[in-house]
Every structure is written in C-alpha cells, then in structure tokens.
C-alpha cells in the first residue's frame, strides 16, 4: 500500500500558475496540496553558484539533479525535427519564474481574434475585454511596474511606476522614428509587498540577486501561510480516473498516492501533455500535445557610434511595440523588439582574444576593451508563431530518471514566422544603420528559449480543444489545466502575465465547483 495524502485541491507544479492557484484557494479555507518534482532553491546559493560558473548559462545558478534542470533542450527532449525546439524551463520550487526576464505585458485585443481579423490561426473562446479585470489583478499580485498601455486598454493603473529608460534606450530612440517605450515588468521600481527595489545587476536572466523581480516563491510562501502544504521532490508520474471520468488519484515518484476533489495541472506546456499522455487522459479530442508554439527571436548586435554604457540596468527596460499588430498579420508574424542592456551574447574573453591577435597589449588593450564594452547594443525581436497540429509533444522511447517516457518534440518554425523574422532583420538593419552603428551582425538561425505554449488549448467544445474557457477539462469534470499549454495562439509578447490573469479566472471556476458541486 502506498502512503496516501488527501486534499480538496491537488496542484501539480509550483510555477506562477500553481503558486497563484494555491494562494487563492488556500485563502478561502480549502485544503490545498502543491506537488513539485524538483528541489527548493536558495537565492544566496544560486547567486554564488552563478558568480563562480565558467559560463553564464540559464542553468548556471541552479543545482544539477537528474530531474531538476530541464534547460538542456538536446538532453531532456528527444528532438524529432525538422527544426530544433529550444524552449527551456526549470523543474524547481517556483518553476521557470526563477530565470524569466520579468517583462509582464498584456496581449493585444487583436491577439484574441487572430482568425476573425486576419484569417490565420484561431480565435480564443473569449475576447480581451473578458480578461481585462483579471489582467489588473495579475499586475497587482506580481507587482508590475509600467507606464502607458502598450496598446492594450486598461481600467486600472499599474501598481508601480515604470523603471526609467536607460541611456542606451534614449540614444537609440533619438536615432530613428520608431517609438521606443518602457515595457511593463514584474520588477520593483520601488519597494513593494516586502520586496526591495531593483538593484540593476543586469542578471535578471538567469537569477535576480535580491528578489526585486517577481518569482513564484512569493505566492508559495503566502499559500503556506494560508494553510497550503507544499511538497518538493514529488514528481507526479501518473494520474488515474474513475468510471465517471473524474480524476481520482495521482502517483508521485517517491511512492505517494494523492487523492483530491480537484486536480490542477500547472506544469509547463511540455510536462502537462506529457503527463496526460502517460496517464491516458483527455484523449477524445486528439489535441493533447498538439499545436506546440515557441517564441522565435531574431537577434542582432552592433557597436553604437558612441558610448551608451550598457550593463547598468535590468537586461531589458524598453522596446519597440509598433510591430506587434497590423494588416501585415494576414501574411507574416508580428513581433516585439526588445533593447538589450546586457551586451553581446558572447564571452568577454573572446573579444579580448581577438584584440590580442591584433597585437594590442597593456593600456591599449584595456582601453580597447572598455571602449568596446561601453558601445555594445543588442536587439531581440520575438515573433509570434501560429498553432500547427503537426508541431507537437509525444512520448519518446527513452525514459527519465523516474522511468517516465521523455518528451519527443516534433517542431517546424513555419513560413509565417519565418516571414516575421525576415522583417525583423530589416527593421534591425534600418535602425542600426541610421544610428551609424558598426560591426552589425544578424544571427542567421535565431531562437529564443523563453516561451513554450499550446499543446492543451482551450476552446468552446471538445472537438478541437482540451479545456473550456474556464480552463476546465472537457472530458474530466474535476481536472483543470492552468498553464501556457491552454493558449490557442501565442501573440508576440511574453505569456506570463496572461497566464497569471487566466489563473484568477480558473480559480473562480474551481471554487464554484467545490462550493456548489458542479
């Protein structure tokens, strides 16, 4: 007999969605149990580990455990091609919010009606207006600093004033007519809810050294204070349903059985379909695992014509939002252009080696390095991707450390996104050229590990979707999927704030179900 744990609500995953679900529902008096497959993280130890790492990779601050760090997209994933899928995530307490950038933007109204407006992709089962109040709730919960609306109408102010644009941002804005805006971010511009203001370390990815950037441990702690129980090193390896189709129990890798009235899958858009496929659940629509979307980023870098002094702020403060939407979306992807203040994506030693090869030594070498570092400019344009059924997660033949089949990724970028990437190159080139920048380089095969969406999308009926507009599974009445997996389309901005807003929407549905029994 396995040890048995019981709860009103069992939450699988402790990222932003799982943490918000646990906090919201535990605060109403419900018995909530959070199951996290990875370890807890000590910020102090993570920062020290990052400082000592030979390479500043996404994984550098985090413990090396067989099930903890899943950033190695050529290690955990079984890549079936034709293109390489590079989305990454962490299986640790707090999830991927430990190494997210912090940009917290709303989707545009047009993003919810892509099929209706432009004849591509699909429409969401509701519009922007229906999520607008929940966006405000999410911004207050995370502590979003912002100014303006970035073309998404709002009924409530940001809880924090926006961070100031950097000197680099302002100089770039003067170089061309493209409007440069400060982007909203879940990063404190002043102390908020017991967390300090940003210390401008330029290491938001992969680790905020002082906790000014929001991560899910904030609401995990609040959930525990409200009575929730959080278990680490408890990877859920299987779910079972009863004769009525209700999920009756979960099994964890340490050999624990969990029983609950409601189960919430708050894992990532890779791990959620993987668990459903392993368990044989939600099979009726044939949509579990399909419509995988990533965030393709066109990366360009250059040297400004004068010192612009990067490395003195968060990695991204400002960006260009003008290319997110327009009639062009009939034929190509929209994109969000971010201005990087973290310099070129190459080790400083590489530049030093090149200067040494040129014969520079002593003070001349030092001056050349200082000059080069002070003029580095980085542009990243993240393009939306259309949902394609052939882009999917299936089960591979190789097993992970707990004996669960590893995810096999079938992925292709698609012509629509490729056309958006090509346009982003032209935009980058025009902007940098008009500024008088030199040493301009456009990465030919740009990728971005930040976003993973789709695979269990929401819709009005079970024929073409896995969950309903309240994120409740069509086939299993006590199962909710609260994850970026439910996104019907991606948009061009980071999905985190939208996921947080959807979480508040789902929590109302879960509470109603538990209080009323339907």
Indicate the SS3 state at residue 38: coil
Q: 193, 206, 178, 118: which is closest to 381 by C-alpha?
A: 178
Q: Which domain holds residue 492?
A: 4-516
Mean pLDDT computed over every residue of the chain: 93
CA–centroid distance for 294 within its chain: 10
- The rounded distance, in Å, linking the Cα atoms of 509 and 61 is 37
* pLDDT beyond 50 at 114: yes
- The rounded distance, in Å, linking the Cα atoms of 85 and 448 is 9
The predicted model gives 324-336 an average pLDDT of 97
Choice among 60-69, 134-143, 339-348, 471-480 with the minimum mean pLDDT: 60-69
The predicted model gives 142-167 an average pLDDT of 95
Write the DSSP symbol of residue 290: B
- The rounded distance, in Å, linking the Cα atoms of 431 and 129 is 34
In degrees, rounded to 5, the angle at the alpha carbon of residue 205 between the alpha carbons of residues 201 and 206 is 100
Predicted local distance difference test score (pLDDT) of residue 153 = 95
The predicted model gives 338-349 an average pLDDT of 88
- As beta bridge partners, residue 399 has 405
Distances from the Cα of 98 to the Cαs of 46, 191, 206, 475, 490, in angstroms? Answer: 10, 19, 7, 33, 22
Catalytic residues: 451
Predicted local distance difference test score (pLDDT) of residue 518 = 57
pLDDT > 70 fraction of the chain, expressed in percent and rounded: 96
Predicted local distance difference test score (pLDDT) of residue 448 = 67
The CATH number of the domain holding residue 311 is 3.50.50.60
Predicted local distance difference test score (pLDDT) of residue 68 = 47
* pLDDT beyond 80 at 67: no
* pLDDT beyond 70 at 69: no
Task: Give this prediction's pTM.
Answer: 0.96
Number of domains in the chain: 1
């Amino acid at each position: 007999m396995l040890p048995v744990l019981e709860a009103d609500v069992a939450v699988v995953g402790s990222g932003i969605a799982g943490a918000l679900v646990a906090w919201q529902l535990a605060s109403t008096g419900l018995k909530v149990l959070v199951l996290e497959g990875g370890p807890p993280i000590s910020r102090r130890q993570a920062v020290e580990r990052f400082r000592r790492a030979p390479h500043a990779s996404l994984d550098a601050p985090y413990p090396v455990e067989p099930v903890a760090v899943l950033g190695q997209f050529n290690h955990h994933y079984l890549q079936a091609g034709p293109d390489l899928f590079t989305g990454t995530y962490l299986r640790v307490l707090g999830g991927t919010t430990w190494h997210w950038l912090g940009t917290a933007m709303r989707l545009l109204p047009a993003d919810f009606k892509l099929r209706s407006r432009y004849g591509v992709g699909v429409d969401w089962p509701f519009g922007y207006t229906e999520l607008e109040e929940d966006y405000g709730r999410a911004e207050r919960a995370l502590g979003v600093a912002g100014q303006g609306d970035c073309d998404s109408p709002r009924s409530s102010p940001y809880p924090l004033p926006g961070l100031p644009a950097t000197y680099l941002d302002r100089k770039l804005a003067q170089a061309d007519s493209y409007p440069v805006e400060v982007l909203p971010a879940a990063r404190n511009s002043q102390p908020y809810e017991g967390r300090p203001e940003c210390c401008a370390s330029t290491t938001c990815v992969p680790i905020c050294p002082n906790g000014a950037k929001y991560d899910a441990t904030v609401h995990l702690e609040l959930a525990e204070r409200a009575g929730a129980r959080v278990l680490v090193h408890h990877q859920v390896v299987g779910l079972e349903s009863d004769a009525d189709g209700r999920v009756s129990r979960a099994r964890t890798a340490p050999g624990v059985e969990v029983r609950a009235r409601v189960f919430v899958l708050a894992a990532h858009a890779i791990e959620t379909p993987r668990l459903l496929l392993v368990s044989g659940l939600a099979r009726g629509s044939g949509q579990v695992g399909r419509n995988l979307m990533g965030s393709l980023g066109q990366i360009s870098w250059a040297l400004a014509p004068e010192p612009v002094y990067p490395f003195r702020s968060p990695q991204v403060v400002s960006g260009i939002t003008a290319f997110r939407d327009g009639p062009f979306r009939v034929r190509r992807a929209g994109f969000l252009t971010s201005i990087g203040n973290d310099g070129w994506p190459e080790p400083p030693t590489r530049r030093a080696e090149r200067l040494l090869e040129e014969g520079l030594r002593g003070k001349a070498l030092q001056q050349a390095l200082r000059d080069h570092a002070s003029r580095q400019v980085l542009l990243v344009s993240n393009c939306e991707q259309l949902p394609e059924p052939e882009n999917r997660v299936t089960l591979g033949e190789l097993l992970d450390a707990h004996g669960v089949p590893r995810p096999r990724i079938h992925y292709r970028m698609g012509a629509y996104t490729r056309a958006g990437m090509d346009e982003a190159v032209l935009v980058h080139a025009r902007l940098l050229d008009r500024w008088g920048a030199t040493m301009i380089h456009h990465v030919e095969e740009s990728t971005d590990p930040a976003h993973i969406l789709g695979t269990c999308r929401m819709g009005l009926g079970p024929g073409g979707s896995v969950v309903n507009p309240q994120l409740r599974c069509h086939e299993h009445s006590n199962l909710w999927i609260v994850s970026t997996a439910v996104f019907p389309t991606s948009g061009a901005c980071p999905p985190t704030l939208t996921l947080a807003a959807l979480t508040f929407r789902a929590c109302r549905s879960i509470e109603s179900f538990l209080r009323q029994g339907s």
